[in-house]
Amino acid sequence: MIDKKLVESLAAKNLQNPAWRASSFFRKACAEAKLLGNVSDDGTTDATAMNEILNQILIGVEGYANLDWVKQYTTDKPYFSVPIGDIGVATTMSGGTFTDDNCDATNVDFDLDEEWGIKTTWSRSHLEDASWDVLAEQTRNAGAAIKRKMIDECIAPIAALTTTLAGGGIVDLSTTITWAEFLSLLARVDTEGTGPADYAVCSPAIYWQLLALDQFVNSLYAGSDEVMRTGVAKTMLGVTVVRDSGMEADAIFVLNKAKAIGLVTRRGVTVEPFEHPEDNEYGFIASTRAKTHVLVPKSIAVGETTV
């Protein structure tokens, strides 16, 4: 769901920026919104139009694909550490005391030195001619591009793992994944002691292979069209299967969300206008500052089909 307070806060901040209010893009959006009756001419036009623009971008960020399988953090610092602790050993009291078992922890450090974003540029004539619907689609696409970048940055570190995974390495699957192979991936994570798998992320090809398995279909309890519509299939196994087009066609990740991959955001999505009339360029830059890192490799099992 879109955070309305976040949108209103961003809108208020942008409206205080003279560059935003004077930008050709924003003035065009206001004019189109008023023309189509999206907003009224009662003195609130600017604020309402700004809310609509930011809503469109954030809808693109939230709605394009699924990041529920990622452990997410936020910080206002340039560095962030995630402590990964070991489970201690409880003992029977002896001599009036318990065995001293220090629960050691190692830190996974995130150096937040990356920015992800997109520059959306229009010509002078495009802004003159474009309708509200056209502008809305382009702003949503900007948000979708950022979301795609976020997901790709979460997939890449897992795809790079080879020998440190649950069970020791990548599992070679059949040309078409079998039910037994799917269960074997879940078992690999479960038997590592890092916690049971609660998510599987796979390519569309493997997603549809799973849906062709009677055992998999019988394990679904969604009871709606969610499986087809969203590419998210919840099962009685306690594992949610997520389809993502950014995955390699032969790949499936099975993981424990709390331990697998971390996404730390220092700056949420911001939107900044720009105008370069001398180059006939008008538009905005949408960006975020974030970083990903694998937390516990053994909380992840990776399978690859034969293609």
At 152-192, the pLDDT tens digits run 999 999 999 999 999 999 999 999 999 999 999 999 999 99
Give residue 291's pLDDT. Answer: 96
Q: Give the predicted TM-score (pTM) of the model.
A: 0.82
Lowest average pLDDT, out of 12-21, 111-120, 242-251, 297-306, goes to 12-21
The share of the chain scoring above pLDDT 90, in percent, equals 47
Confidence of residue 284 (pLDDT cuts 50, 70, 90): confident
| Rounded Cα–Cα distance for residues 48 and 44 (Å) | 6
- CATH number of 156-262+295-304, picked from 3.30.365.10, 3.30.2320.10, 1.10.940.10, 3.40.190.10: 3.30.2320.10
Contact at 8 Å (CB) between 243 and 288? no
pLDDT (mean) for 246-265: 95
Strands 71-74 vs 261-276: parallel, antiparallel or unpaired: parallel
| Rounded Cα–Cα distance for residues 33 and 40 (Å) | 8
Lowest average pLDDT, out of 13-17, 191-195, 208-212, goes to 13-17
